[in-house]
Structure formats: C-alpha cells, structure tokens
Structure 1
Amino acid sequence: MSQQLRTRPPEAAPCATRADRNWVRHALRLLDAEAGRSGWTPLLPFRVRGLEGVDLYLKDESLHPTGSLKHRLARSLFVQALCNGDIGPRTTIIEASSGSTAVSEAYFAQILGLPFVAVLPRATSYEKIALIERHGGRVEMVDDPTHVVRTAERLAEGSEGFFMDQFTFASQATNWRDDNIASEMFSQMSREPHPVPEWVVVGAGTGGTSTCIARYARHKGIGSRVAVVDPDGSAFYEGWRRKDMTFTTSTPSRIEGIGRTRVEPSFVPNLVDEVIPVPDGASIATMRWASDLLGRRVGPSTGTNIWGALRIAQRMRASRREGSVATVICDSGERYASTYYDDAWVAARGIDPTPWNDLLSQYQSTGLPRAD
C-alpha cells in the first residue's frame, strides 16, 4: 500500500495530544524493556560428517519469546510506527502474514494493550492461528494467498486501524547498523575456527533479513557473501536472475514464511550474491533430516535454508576450500505438526520429499552429491 493510503493528509492530521505523546514514550519504554529481556539467540554448530573442512552454523531464532525470526522484525515495525506517529493508544494493528510475523505482532500489540488483526492465507497451520489468538489477536482468513495484502489494506481503510505492511517496510524498519541478527551472528562467529563465514544463507519472505545482513557486512567491512534460497513458485529467484524487480508468478509458495508471488520492496538485489532455487521436496526432506540430527523439530523454511547451505558447503569442499557457512533456524517445527510433518497433508499438495532423502544421506556420509 502506498504511504498516501496509509496516513492521513497532512492538512487533516490532528495534533497529537500530550497524553498521546506520553503514551508513545511509555510504549517505547515497554518495547525497549522487552528487547532487554529477550537477549541474544544461540549460534549452534551443525556437524555434517561428509563435509569435513566446512563448518556449518545455525543461528537459532526459534528461541525468541514468540518463537521465530520474525520477533525482531515485529518489534522494529512497532518502534518505527510509534516514532512515525502512526500508532496511538486506540489504534488497531493490522498485518498481512503467512503466520509467524502475525504471531510476533500479536505479542507486541498485547504488550502495548492494542487490538490486533492478522490476515492469513487459509492454508496457514492451525498451530500458528492458535498462537495469534493466545496473544489476543483476531484472525481473518483469505482463500487466495495473493490477496492477503489487499484485504489488510481494506480493513485498515475501513477502520481506525493501521496496516503495518511488513512486505514494504521490513528493510526500512530494521536497524541494520547495530543490535540486529547480523551483529549477533558475526560477533558469535568471531570465536570460531573460521570466524568470517564465506557465506550467510537466508530465505526471503519480505527480503528484510538478507538486506539487513548484507548491509551490516558492508558497513563493518566483513567479506561474507549472502545467498538467498527461494522455494518453488516464488518470484525472487527469477526476478534476481532476470534483473527484473517487477517479475511476478501466478503460483504462491508452498513453504510457509518464505517465497512471494512478487519481488517485495525490502528485497535489494544488488546486495545479494546468489539466489538458489530450492524444490519444495528438498525443503521438506531437509527439514525432517535436520530435525533428526538436532533432536528437535524445525520448520520448513529452515529446511530450505539448510539445503542451500549444504549446496554451498559441498561446492566449497569440491574446490578444496575450507571455511564456514552460517544460516538460520527460522522457527520451531511444532508449528507444523499438522501440516509439513504430516505425510498425508504433504502428499495432498503434490509434494514428494523422498527423492531428496538419498542425497541428504550422502551429504552425511561422503559429501558427494554434485553441486549445480
């Protein structure tokens, strides 16, 4: 949605009352206190026997209070909206999401005592819906996933609501200079045998995470390259390959949390060194394989991330290059017990993870699968 649609015209905007400004200061203090309580997330070594010489690391964002990478983004979006004067003590917060951002925003809205409405695709797992409702949020379901933004815009226009619009404002709201996922990751890596990762691998839903990490690395003179992994049906790979940021697809991503039918404004292609297309079967097979190795379940976007990291690590090993590769655990697999961990649900969507199981076994034993 355009900025003009999201705010009142300047001549119609009422002056903020002293009480509202006091409330904003109080709200910002609450968010700052929450950030202090949350702390850093761990960086975990992920050992794959067949890829000796290349160390893999997982930044575990599932341990945030709201259970996902989107916790950071949600807090940043609230801070920006408060400082812009978009949110007051009676504002209803509205967001379009595939689930995890909505869970996190519902949590922050509850901290601030604000109503929250999440617009979600109907295929969103009921575990995510339950988390949104547990934090006091209300859910509006949309049959066509490409209509979530349009529906959120309509709800905001017809009420005293404010549409957060993560897809447009993720890269603007995120503080990429300090105190972010990149600053934590690189600080934690500094004590490892290969302290500067050759590659950092992340998925793209808004594009905000890849943009934050790449900007921070450039700002601090860190030589790590950034790879974005992109699932079937998403526009980021083809848009990046064709250098066409207007590129769109007609089929939505089947991997919750990443992939979009359009290239979102927060995705900055000049900052990305490579975009790796990942078949949905590989994402789900890797999700389950990694869960077995870790001893706990991770989500499907984490499977996509780890598949991309494995491909890059295998290329490094094939060229006899040692080093490290870092990627992200986006959220817990417990949110997907009724979907991506259910064989019948996966099969009903025409996804077959079995062809990828042998390749993953080879990574763990000999590291031999050929890197494209």
Structure 2
Amino acid sequence: MSTAPAAGPPDADLSDVDRSDPAGRAWVDRAVAAVEADALRSADTHLLVYPLPPEWGVDLYLKDESTHPTGSLKHRLARSLFLHALCSGWITEGSTVVEASSGSTAVSEAYVARMLGLPFVAVMPASTSREKIALIERHGGRCHLVEHAADVYDEARRLAAETGGHYLDQFTHAERATDWRGNNTIAESVFEQLALERHPVPEWVVVGAGTGGTSATFGRYLRFRRHPTRLAVVDPEGSAFFPGWVAGDAATTGTPSRIEGIGRPRMEPSFLPTVVDRMIRVPDAASLAAVHHLERATGRRAGGSTGTNLWGAFRLVAEMVAAGRTGSVVTLLCDGGERYGRTLHSPDWVAGQGLDCAPYAAVLEEFAATGRWPG
C-alpha cells in the first residue's frame, strides 16, 4: 500500500507567489492621475481655416498643435507613451526614462518626466536644432547626442539598460499607445470640430510620418467610424517611409531627414502602411517654400513638417479644383517656427544646405492665384 509524500513546510510551497507592491502601485496611481490632470488642464487645439478663394468650393483646415503646453503635436504622444508604460508596469518610482528622438517628442517627454519627478535622457542626432536641445534641458531633460541618426535606437536601449530604466521607444509603441477609437484623440477632435462646417467629412486628411503614430490613429479611426475620408501621408527627401510603402517592404535609407519631426532612415514599426491611401514625396525645398508661404498668407511661422503637410494638402486641393469637386481637406500645423530660427528660418542655413526654394515658391504663387498645380 502506497502513501502520499508528506507535505513540506509552508515556506517550501512555491505554488503561490505574491509580488504585489502596494507602495509602488500607489505611486503609479498618483503618476497616472498627474498625466490625466495635465490632459484636463489642456484645452483642445484650434482648427484653423486656411484662406482659400471661396469660389473654389474647397475648404482647407489646419489643426494647430503648436498650442499644446510643450508647443507641438508630440505632447499628445508623450502623454500616451507615459500612460502606456505606467499602466504596463514598465515605469515605476525613480525610473530613468530614455527616448530616441529627433527633438519635439523629447521636449514633451521631458515635460512629463519632470512632472512625475523622473530623470529623463533624450538620445538624438547631433544635427538636432540648438533650440530643441535648449527646450529639452529647460524641462529638466538631459541630451545625449550621437553622430549618426541610425544609432539612436541601440544607444537608447544601452542607456536604459545601464541605468536600470525604461526605453519608451516611440518608434515601436506610438501606434499602440494611443486609443485610436476615440477618447479625445486628434482624429476624434478633428471630426467633432468639423461638425458644423459646410463639408464636415473631409475628402482628405494629410499628415506626415515620424513614428507613424498619427497616421495610424487617423487611418484606424476613419475605418472605425466608417468615414469615406482618405488618408494621405507626406514624406520628405531621403526618408524610408515612401519607398517602403511603394515597395511593400521594410525599407531603409540610412539618411537623416532635414525636416525635423518627420522622415526616418528606416520604416519604423509604428508605421502602418495598410491604413494609408496615398503617399506623396515632398522635396525639402518645397517644404520650406510652403512654410514661408504660410507665414505670408496667415502671419503664422511654423516648423518644416507643417510645410511638408501643406505642400501635400495644396496639391490635393488643386486636384479637387481641377476636377470640379467641392469638399474639405485637413492637415496639421505641427509646431511653431521659433524652434528653427537657426535652421530652416535662417537664409544662411538654407543656402548652406544647397536648397533652392524659388521654383517651389513660384508653384505656390501660381496655385494661390489660380488653383492650378503644374502637370
């Protein structure tokens, strides 16, 4: 007759392991509440009407993201990334937060990190504008510069591991950190603000791609709400998004973008090509010409990515005018031009880059006067 083995002492029983940390959970609760409170303090951004001749029958809108507390579209992303990491248990009290960023995302993340009392390190190319570096440091962040743009990912991972911290990794997590179904996303906000306009459902939404998070949010939202609106993504010179989308593969170029905030040397994991209806490659000189055109037309000085957006939006408006279609187009004013005083708003910098904006300025003047776009 067999007998069951005698039970071991209670401290040998490993079938029940409790790793709860009430103090740590309480800190996370306070951190999440602080990020949510920041969102509640921030009023929605304006949807500006761009001045087009009314007889064209096409309305163009700019979602002005420069009015966020940290001055750019990336303020939304920073909040989402921190909430995602906090609620996933990746950031805890005292964590060093590390990011690979070309500038604006890091500015916003430094703001959130300081709000939570966390150290923040931004890994970025040495070519990043001095103005953006100063903004990151003003918000308490530390800038770690690398010579080659393609090195930011591995260096950010190394620093996070070295400090026992967390690498936010915007280029992987941007598309999943935002609740694209609504919850006051930029897409939901745009459609609510258009509700009383004469063309409340736009024919096109035009955005650039840096992480791919904004295009993923808009593309998914359009399908979720069953809107017929199409999504166009504009891409600057040398970026991997356009060739990757065309070829249907994960392209790499290894080329840093002169248009800060958009364009990447590789096709980032957060970019969802399947939700993009059309891609438009925009020459860097055309982006700058459009920025200067915006300032002449509205008095608003913006960053280069806004110029890339506008070039694509103007082209689509011209196509609608040529086809006799009425409707609306929406794009983004991503950030203000004060961050680029020594670069794209400096004639010496533009000349040093070998950029000739004059031919593109002529295209925009012709478009403004007639609604036509060259062949």
Does the alignment reach a TM-score above 0.5?
yes
Residue 224 of structure 1 deviates from its aligned partner by 0.7
Q: Does 1:275 align with 2:275?
A: no
Number of the residue aligned with 2:189: 184
Partner Cα distance (1:155, 1:124) in 2:
19
The 1:294/1:16 distance shift into structure 2, 3 A limit, reads: farther
Question: Which moves more between the two structures, 66-75 or 348-357?
Answer: 348-357
1:94 aligns with 2:98: yes
Shift of 1:159: 1.2
Gaps of 5+ in 2: 1-16
- Work out whether 1:169 is the aligned partner of 2:173: yes
- Give the superposition deviation at 1:350: 2.1
**Residue 120 of structure 1, aligned match among 118, 124, 137:** 124
Q: CA separation in 2, counterparts of 1:350 and 1:232?
A: 13
Asked if the contact 2:363–2:374 (Cα under 8 Å) also holds between the matched residues in 1, the reply is no
Question: 1:217 Cα deviation (Å)?
Answer: 1.3
Distance in structure 2 (CA, Å) of the matches to 1:241 and 1:22: 48
Residue 135 (structure 1) aligns with: 139
Secondary structure, counterpart of 2:163 in structure 1: coil
In the TM superposition, what is the alpha-carbon distance from 1:39 to its structure 2 partner?
2.0
- Displacement of 1:296 in angstroms is 2.2
Question: In the alignment, which of 229, 237, 242 is matched to residue 224 of structure 1?
Answer: 229
- C-alpha contact (below 8 Å) 2:254/2:266 kept by paired residues: no
SS at match of 2:48: strand
- The residue number in structure 1 matching 2:88 is 84
Distance across 2 between alignment mates of 1:194 and 1:278:
27
Q: Indicate conservation of the 8 Å contact 1:94/1:116, yes or no.
A: yes
Q: Is the 8 A contact 2:45 2:65 kept in 1?
A: yes
The equivalent residue for 1:194 is 199
Once the two structures are superposed, residues 285-338 of structure 1 have per-residue CA deviations (whole angstroms, 9 ceiling, x without a partner) of 101111221212100000000000000110111111110000000000000011
Name the larger-Rg structure: 2
Q: Structure 1 regions of 5+ residues with no counterpart?
A: 1-12
Structure 2 SS opposite 1:67: coil
Tell me by how many angstroms 1:145 deviates: 1.1
Find the aligned partners of 1:118 and 1:247 in 2 and give their Cα distance: 25
Identity %: 55
Q: What TM-score, normalized by structure 1, do the two folds share?
A: 0.94
Q: 1:282–1:353: 8 Å Cα contact kept in structure 2?
A: yes
Task: Name the counterpart of 2:215.
Answer: 210
Aligned pair partner of 1:327 in 331, 349, 354: 331
C-alpha contact 1:182 1:212 (8 A) present in aligned 2: yes
- Inter-CA distance 15–342: structure 2 relative to 1 (3 Å threshold): same
Shift of 1:14: 9.6
Change (3 A) 1:250 1:207: same
Q: Deviations over 1:73-93 (max 9, x none)?
A: 000000010001001111000
CA distance in 2, matches of 1:304, 1:50: 24
TM-score by length of 2: 0.93
Q: AA paired with 1:309?
A: A
Q: Which amino acid aligns with 2:268?
A: E
Q: Is the 8 A contact 1:43 1:59 kept in 2?
A: yes
